[in-house]
Chain A
Amino acid sequence: MRSPSGVTVTGAAVTEFNRRRDNSSFRDWSASAFEQALRMSGLERRDIDALVVASESDFFTLQLNPASVLASDLGLTGAACSRVEGGGASGQLAVHAAVRAIQSGHIDHVAVIGVDPSASQLDPATVKSLYSYSFDAWTDGMSGITSTALYALSFQAFMQHSGLGISELAEVTRQNRRNATHNPGAHLGRTHTLDEINQSPLIASPYRRLHCSPLSDGAAAIILSGSRLTPGARRAAPSIIGIGAASDTAHLGARENIGSFAAKTRAMQRALKEADIRIADIDTAELYDAYAGAQLQAIDALGLSDNIATDLLDGAFAPTGTMPVNISGGLMGQGAPVGATGVAQTANCALLLEGRYHPPLQPSALPRIALADTHGGICTTAAVTLLAGARA
């Protein structure tokens, strides 16, 4: 492994993900996550040089330039502040922007906040319509195709070449929702039966309602610090050792392989190269499972398994398996406030590497290297982050 990138995760926090009905707003959730992460870091707010906010859309927050408002709320006036947006990848891309800012040598400590009120501020039908514009608004968006339908078409192509199908969709669904039952902040901790999954309403074949992640509200925050300036009490905090991002054609139909998440593969290769590690060195992964099939496509694109069907049935991706995937429950179980997801994944990985994750889900053997993977569009924008614990 190459020497660490010089970026330490000194603080990490994730709020509950759910549909808020308590009159709290995205500004409250952002503040809650930030204050908790700041306490963990041992830093003062005056130490924070920059704030990077991930939020997918002003349609959801009804707040243009949200970073400026959050900077004021959080007492960070004077710090540089900006917002990063890349659809579902917004959170990871915000983490990447913060990492590169620290590596530039001009910034010492950055707060990264991911947030979106995806569930409570607009009705679900409106959110569904807006998501159509996550793809090419002039072709996919105006034709009215939904996110679920587009993912379903991609997964159908994936099924053809992978041999994976309905039974694997059900197993991913059961596993992620079961993991979420042990995550007190999760939106959909459930123990589904196969019948419940296979009889849930058909949304876009082969996807049924229970194969889909929910719309959630919530926020996540991390504090990143230049390693030489990490507070003494946090010297053993995890480091970010490699990041990678890539893109694919906006039109699904223009791709050589409709079912393959090629941008994810490229992003992973770049992160692995930067970290100078092999895939086999990764101990746990938080993957972008907007749909059950997207998790299978991610495992394939990231190269995390040579035989996905066997590994899935053998429990390799379970919390006690050889390659635990989505210990948190992922988007399907933990929930999906879009801008928060990538930041939450990074926070979850950092907490797992430190042994500070929710006790029922914390692996008994401390993982050494973790992968956080997100994408926007139909894997049109991909971003992955590799983290290492202090023992790695």
Chain B
Amino acid sequence: MIKHNLPLEYTLAEGWLQPFSSGILSGGAVARQCSSCTEVSFPPHRTCRCGDTRGSWITLDGRADIHYRTMGADGDFALVKFRGADTLCTVKLCNFAADQRVGQLRAATTGQSLPALHLYPVQEHT
């Protein structure tokens, strides 16, 4: 058996996803709105489900409601709908109690370079 360590340091170009990834790092949810059917996708779709590639970037408030949630040794993850979006999104839940259903994106902490979709709990009063 041969031991071999291969460190890989990528420099990733963001391409058309740049508004999305920059938004995540600054704590915002930048979504794509289709020019044809007005559907708002988050994460953004380059080509809308209606087939149109024309669209504009819009900024949502970064707040999301949990639809499905899974917990266990792999962590705490959910399918959520960001308010103002028409599609669901997978996120990592950070410090959520079992009964908490609403969360908010936060700006990246110092040293965090990946546009990771991490949601933090918020209390809403009705």
Chain A residues proximal to chain B, CB less than 8 Å: 23, 62, 128, 136, 138-140, 142-146, 148-150, 152-153, 156-157, 201-207, 249, 251-254, 258
Contacts and interface: CB of A to CB of B under 8 A. Distances in A.
Interface of B: 1, 4, 6, 17, 20-21, 41, 43, 45, 49, 68-75, 77-79, 81, 87-92, 114-118
Contact of A149 (B43, B45, B70): B70
A157 B87 CA distance: 15
B68 A157 contact: yes
A128 B75 CA distance: 13
Given A62-B4, A142-B114, A205 B68 contact: no
Contact of B68 (A142, A143, A156, A254): A156
Shortest 4 CB-CB contacts between residues of A and residues of B? A253-B88, A202-B72, A152-B70, A143-B117
A62 B87 CA distance: 37
Contacts of B116: 142-144
Contacts of A254: 41, 45, 49, 87-88
A156 B70 contact: yes
Nearest to B115: A142
A10 B90 CA distance: 45
Given A139-B90, A204-B70, A252 B79 contact: yes
A146 B75 contact: yes
A138 B71 CA distance: 22
A202 B47 CA distance: 37
Given A142-B114, A145-B90, A253-B88, A153 B71 contact: no
A62 B92 contact: no
A23 B1 contact: yes
A206 B74 CA distance: 12
Contact of B87 (A136, A140, A205, A253): A253
Nearest to A150: B90
Contacts of A145: 75, 77, 90, 92
Contacts of A148: 72, 74
A149 B77 contact: yes
A27 B43 CA distance: 40
A134 B49 CA distance: 22
A204 B68 CA distance: 12
Contacts of A144: 75, 92, 116
Given A62-B4, A138-B17, A153 B77 contact: yes
B73 A253 contact: no
Given A139-B90, A251-B90, 7 more contacts: A148-B72, A149-B70, A201-B73, A204-B70, A206-B70, A252-B79, A253-B87
